[in-house]
Amino acid sequence: MSTPPAVTGASSIERLPMTLPRLAEKKRLGEPIVMVTAYDFPGAQVAEEAGVDLVLVGDSAAQVVLGYDSTVPVSVDEMLMLCAAVRRGLRTPLLVGDLPFGSYEATDEQAVATAQRFVKQAGCDAVKLERGGSSVARAQAIVEAGIPVMGHVGLTPQTATALGGYRAQGRTADRALRLAQDALALQDAGCFSLVFEAIPAAVATELMPRLAVPVIGIGAGGAVDGQVLVFHDLLGIGDGMAPRFVKRYAGLRAEMVGAVRAFADDVRAGRFPAAEHTYSIDPEELAGFRAGVAEVDAA
């Protein structure tokens, strides 16, 4: 992977790029792994400067930046544009691109071809796909094509309708067992890491000793190897109710609305722009310009 140039921030200078062996080593040492989503260049720069380990261009982009009402409609081309922008803002975290709904499920060939686009066109280091079941074979095919794959079990938003909505998964013995089988099958298929989303903490705790790959949780409790949050959720940029598992670390939406409103008020009241926001011209040049305009007017 070539190193993208446009990264600023002193803290990124000393850090080594995250690799799969370094990630595995973090698990071995019991060092918590930090993943955050990002969808654009400034978001990637923020993640870089904050020193996270992995950045996921999640298909949550569909809802948080593209305004769709679920993750289902987002296209491969839309995801690739977002991944490429994030790539340009990152140097050290491992970049994972989310394969959108309908782009990998049909055949192994489809899955490999889509994953290759995420690596070749957008510079992703790895891809993520959702569910066990038939996704296990797709994950294996992509891994065999040389592309690292992150699995995702529990609440899998691409198939939320089939799961009965956006709700915690694995809350009966049967469902938890099925989830365990999916997680182990994805690990056996060669996934370098798994996401557990919205499952009981006790189920995750039970599974952890059985999993050798790093597990990143979102609403899966504290026994997993790392945590991920959606950028807009943790910064408080989005509107509406956040899921139970979200912790807000800032309330940027209110600050952003306040700033834009203050700008609008200033413009309407004639307070902006002030002298310091304007450019000057040498008085002689201005005089010459005025004379020239007068001549044009007179002609």
Distances (CA, A) of 238 to 195, 217, 242, 246: 22, 21, 9, 12
197 is an active site residue: yes
Cα separation of 261 and 255, whole Å? 10
Part of the chain binding ligand KIV (CB under 6 A), chosen from 52-60, 89-97, 132-140, 270-278: 52-60
Per-residue binding string, ligand KIV, 82-121, x by CB under 6 A, is ----------------x-----------------------
CB of 216 to ligand KIV, least distance (A): 7
Pick 41 or 245: Cβ nearer ligand KIV = 245
Q: Which of 197, 206, 284, 285 is catalytic?
A: 197
Q: Which of 218, 220, 234, 237 binds ligand KIV (CB under 6 A)?
A: 218
Pick 56 or 299: Cβ nearer ligand KIV = 56
Part of the chain binding ligand KIV (CB under 6 A), chosen from 25-33, 58-66, 84-92, 259-267: 58-66
Cα separation of 129 and 134, whole Å? 11
**Which residues make Cβ contacts (< 8 Å) with residue 151, sequence separation at least 6?**
128, 129, 132, 135, 139, 182, 183, 186, 187, 189, 191, 193, 194, 195
Distances (CA, A) of 12 to 22, 84, 103, 188, 223: 16, 19, 34, 34, 28
Q: Which of 40, 48, 59, 125 binds ligand KIV (CB under 6 A)?
A: 59
Question: Mind telling me the catalytic residues?
Answer: 197
